[in-house]
A and B are shown apart, each in its own frame.
Chain A
Amino acid sequence: MFNTKAVGTAVRQKDGRPRVTGEAKFYADVLFPNMLQTRILRSPYPAADIVSIDTSEAEALAGVRLVMTYKNFPKAFRDTLYYVGDLVAAVVADDETICEEALELIKVEYTKKKFVLSLEEAIEPGSTQVFEGVENCHDWEFHYTMSDRDPETKLFKTKTQTESNAFGDIDKGFAEADVIVEQKGIKYAYCKSPAMEPRGCSANFDGNKLNVYTHSQGLHDEKLCLAQALDIDSHLLNYVSPYTGSSFGGKNAFPLDRNIASHYLMIAGLATLHLRKPVHCGYSREEEMLCGWSRGSIGDVKLGFKKDGTMTTMDFFHWQEAGSGGDKYPPKNAVLATGSVLYSHNVEHQRSRIRYVHTNRFCCGGWQGYGVPEGTYAVETTVDIAAYEMGIDPVELRKKNCMRAGDVDSGWDPLTYKSCYISSSGIRDCLDAGAKHVDWKKTWEHPNKKTGRIRHGMGVAIFAMAAGRPGPGNSSEAMVKIFPDGSAALVCAIADIGQGQHTVQTQIVADVLGLPYEKIGLVCHDTDSTPFATLVAGSCATWIQGWTTYGAAMDAKRQVLELAADKLNVAADELTMDEHGVHVTEDTDTKISFSDAFGTRGHYGGIHEVIGYHVHNSPHATGHKDGKADQIYIPKEKGAQFITMDVDTETGIISNVHVVMAQNVGKALNPKVVEGQLLGSRHGVENGLLANDCIVDKRNGWLMTPNWVDYRHTTAMDCDVTPLVIEKPGDLSHPLGATACGEGAACPTLASFSNALYNAIGVRILETPFTPDKILTALGKIPAKKGKK
């Protein structure tokens, strides 16, 4: 097809240089003259109604241009408040100091209401309702039972909407099981989506259109939503986002949903349209913590095994804290950690049920694993318990049961397909590689053999998560331009949020065209100059945009070869393109330069650029089993992770944490980029190690950890990560045999951390974070806290 030169090598990052010189302009670095600033007045109460609001004094302050409340901007504000930090009003003024002064002049009278602040409380019957007249707990709306399995294809032919995701017969499964292992109440503490760059935007009306400068995971998705939310035609809005200072899903903007974290877009957009002046609205770190997407869950898992460790049955109950919204963008992916995918090889009977639980805190959303970290934590903890109970090596038990290529995926996208095939796995290879790296066979010991004050622990967990969102709505477009001087440009709005997509997509273009990587430019920074590109979420970009970019480059190349064929009087399929131009494949002397092929003569005549275009609608153009349209391969991100640590049984302090992350990436399009993604395994260590918990004052709902000192992220000092990039090229869902690699690395971390801790101390702690006091309590060294079980 073509030679890979750029693909497979660690070429220089496409936009690496501006990132290390400070030239990269993140949205907040774009300063318009006379730009107005914004500050938001936020609710001090977890539940309240605004009885009256008087903004007259604030409006009278010199320098104040606009005060926004539910009265004049009902699209962005409301008079009922659901969490501490909910929007009350916003001040737009000449500078930040005036904004802050004006906030203090707004007089608000509230009626305080009863509130509920934790998942456990909200589950209790008769607990305070977050939304009056609406139960706090409700089922995910897309639960389906799969049935009527085709004996030949193994695919399910029928799906029925039910109260859980299920297949087989759960009761029969447990009745026939030799060993049943059950663990309830595995708690993932409520935590927040992280991002280095705080959220915000600057909007500017230039006389013709509204330009919004911001960060983005999907420029076009967000632009279309924002235009609709602002009630302006889409062509009037240009969404600009050349750089994004990391996101992990938390910056996905859905301005149409007022519960979701996109208030800055609505406030700046509305204010700019109203004032016709540039307006900046950005969040402080405290606002990030108050209003960042969250996760937090409790999982109950029950597993059925045959004597030899074959896992036949799985029952999984997942309570997800949805906060005051978020049920539209749920961590439904939690199901992927169950028998429907992660243990798809042997499980015949499964039931998994997700329930959303409203609380008076900010909403949950899809970020960094999109439910898989929570689901994996619950399932992989229970699988570990089962391994110890049955006396089977934790690595071997997983190898026996884990997902394999060609297994039937019944857990994802029941909306479009009844079921499909998993395109590749390699989890067993990852388990082998990781076990070898940590010398598992020689150094693993049962906890009851450990003595001494410092106990060494070793834990393992596996994971699988979906790549993208197959089905309608997950399309992407790209253009590839070839110029007469032999350079080219990829025109494509795919967002590079640090995951290296700008580099990887350009590598694909270079190799398809046969041009040097350095000759390929990139136009990606705004919606006006690019066609629609998919949201980069669920680690889908290499898959979906990879297909798109590949298609656009092939289309451009075809056109250039046809132009050359015409001039050389040969058939286009006899030609090859490289950096010197086009030549006959078998006769390098019969050749033509790009400018001659284009017929370019200075400014006049000929063709000045060839434009290739491709639109990709997943998964219709991905791999199909035996070419059959209804038998589709779907990629998964997957791998195995090992953690080793030392635990001081006198102080409860964990140290020397080492994470070994092994992941099958199919073909590594850029080895350094995928290695960097695997380093993301650190996320999860903070949930286990660093007291990463949004602690609220139970009396008033105030967040006690609204900063990076009290709510810590890992630094270079906290742990080491060894990335093991496992390449099993030839994933059937991708043109270059690659498979997804991204947020998956963070999915198994909490589980393997928890399993390593158990291996060290011989006691299970089922509630994160694993703070020294919990460890000492578990060891019986200090008494349990009052009010705790």
Chain B
Amino acid sequence: MTQNEKLTKLIQLTINGESRPLLVEAHWTLSKVLRNDCGHTGTKEACNEGACGSCTVLIDDIATPACMVLAIEQEGKNIETIEGLSKDGQLHPIQEAWLEEYGAQCGFCSPGMIMSTKGLLIKNANPTDDEIKEALGGNLCICSNYEHIINAVRSAARKMSKEQANV
């Protein structure tokens, strides 16, 4: 394929609740499109082969490495990125918990970790430690801050249960 033979397609993606048209090439991954075409650079790329979890986003509430799916196949699905979590400057309880428990060191893995956490807490509001470890098993933190991260997930679960109870 040369420059002049690129296959592009106009698609419509729903990202953080907003529908937007995007002109994409067939081989572009979702992480590439989120970063380069949507300005959602909170989705990090560290391996581009599904081994590290730093590009994790939610697709229809399922935590998914965005480097492992094609953008062109995501029409009609709800894509949620780290940028969709805080509303009007108000942090999401998971983000609050992350700050309280020092869940981030360098912070490069944090967006992916936080999205995996949200995916877990949607399915399981009160996870055990083993369930937390399993849910984050695909997210590397090379600072190896896992104890703080696990504390943050526990704390987030408590915060969200409390919020739920107050509704």
Task: Give the interface of A toward B (CB within 8 A).
Answer: 10, 12-13, 15-26, 28-29, 31, 61-63, 94, 97-98, 101, 194-198, 243-248, 284-285, 496-500, 672-673, 675-676, 679-683, 707-709, 713-717, 720-723
Contact = CB atoms under 8 A, between A and B. Distances in A.
Interface string B80-111: 01110110000100010011001111111111
A715 B144 CA distance: 8
B114 interface: yes
B8 interface: no
B48 interface: yes
Nearest to B82: A22
B145 interface: yes
Contacts of B41: 22, 25-26, 28-29, 31
A13 B4 CA distance: 49
Contacts of B48: 284-285
25 contacts: A13-B99, A15-B107, A19-B110, A196-B46, A196-B143, A245-B44, A245-B106, A246-B108, A285-B47, A285-B48, A285-B49, A498-B106, A676-B105, A676-B145, A679-B143, A679-B148, A680-B144, A681-B144, A707-B51, A708-B47, A708-B49, A708-B51, A715-B138, A716-B150, A723-B147
Contact of B143 (A20, A243, A676): A676
A198 B46 contact: yes
A101 B85 CA distance: 39
B137 interface: yes
B3 interface: yes
A680 B143 contact: yes
A246 B99 contact: no
Given A20-B99, A716-B132, A197 B46 contact: yes
Nearest to B40: A22
B125 interface: no
A37 to B, nearest CB: 11
Contacts of B110: 19-20
Contacts of B150: 716
Contact of A709 (B51, B104, B108): B51
Contacts of B54: 196
A23 B42 contact: yes
Given A16-B98, A197-B46, A285-B48, 9 more contacts: A26-B108, A98-B3, A243-B108, A244-B106, A679-B148, A683-B144, A709-B51, A716-B149, A721-B146
Contacts of B82: 21-22
A52 to B, nearest CB: 26
B108 A676 contact: no
A673 B144 contact: no
Contact of A20 (B40, B52, B95): B95
Nearest to A746: B144
Contacts of A29: 35, 41
Nearest to B41: A29
B139 interface: yes
A61 B98 CA distance: 48
Contacts of A10: 102
Contact of A499 (B36, B52, B105): B105
B107 A243 contact: yes
B64 interface: no
Contact of B109 (A63, A196, A248, A675): A196
Report whether over half of chain A's contact residues are helix, strand or loop; otherwise say mixed.
Answer: loop
A27 B132 CA distance: 31
B136 A197 contact: no
A23 B91 CA distance: 12
B55 to A, nearest CB: 11
A675 B136 contact: no
B140 interface: yes
From B85, B99, B144, residue with most partner A Cβ within 10 Å: B144
B104 A13 contact: yes
A440 B60 CA distance: 49
A20 B137 CA distance: 19
Nearest to B52: A708
A20 B109 contact: no
Nearest to B111: A22
Nearest to A719: B146
B134 interface: yes
Contacts of B102: 10, 13, 16, 672-673, 675-676
Nearest to B146: A716
Nearest to A19: B107
A675 B133 CA distance: 20
Contacts of B143: 196, 246, 498, 676, 679-680
A518 B58 CA distance: 34
B103 A20 contact: yes
B142 interface: yes
B119 to A, nearest CB: 15
B11 to A, nearest CB: 19
A25 B107 CA distance: 11
Contact of A21 (B2, B36, B95): B95
A415 B6 CA distance: 60
A498 B95 contact: no
B103 to A, nearest CB: 7
Contacts of A497: 106
Nearest to B95: A20
Nearest to B136: A716
Contact of B140 (A18, A248, A496, A715): A715
B66 interface: no
Nearest to B4: A62
A717 B51 contact: no
Nearest to B101: A672
B99 A17 contact: yes
B155 to A, nearest CB: 13
Contacts of A707: 47, 49, 51
B79 interface: no
B141 interface: yes
Nearest to A686: B144
A28 B3 contact: no
A142 B85 CA distance: 54
B133 A716 contact: yes
Nearest to A26: B108
Contact of B42 (A22, A94, A247, A672): A22
A198 B52 CA distance: 12
B16 to A, nearest CB: 11
B44 A197 contact: yes
Contacts of A18: 107
A679 to B, nearest CB: 6
A713 B99 contact: no
A284 B140 CA distance: 16
A31 B38 CA distance: 12
Nearest to A499: B105
A24 B107 contact: yes
B51 A245 contact: no
A500 B1 CA distance: 47
Contacts of B136: 715-716
A99 to B, nearest CB: 11
Nearest to B106: A498
Contacts of A94: 3
A195 B106 CA distance: 10
Contacts of A708: 47, 49, 51-52, 140
Q: Rank and list the top 4 A-B pairs by shortest CB-CB distance, nearest first.
A: A22-B42, A19-B107, A498-B106, A245-B108
A21 B42 contact: yes
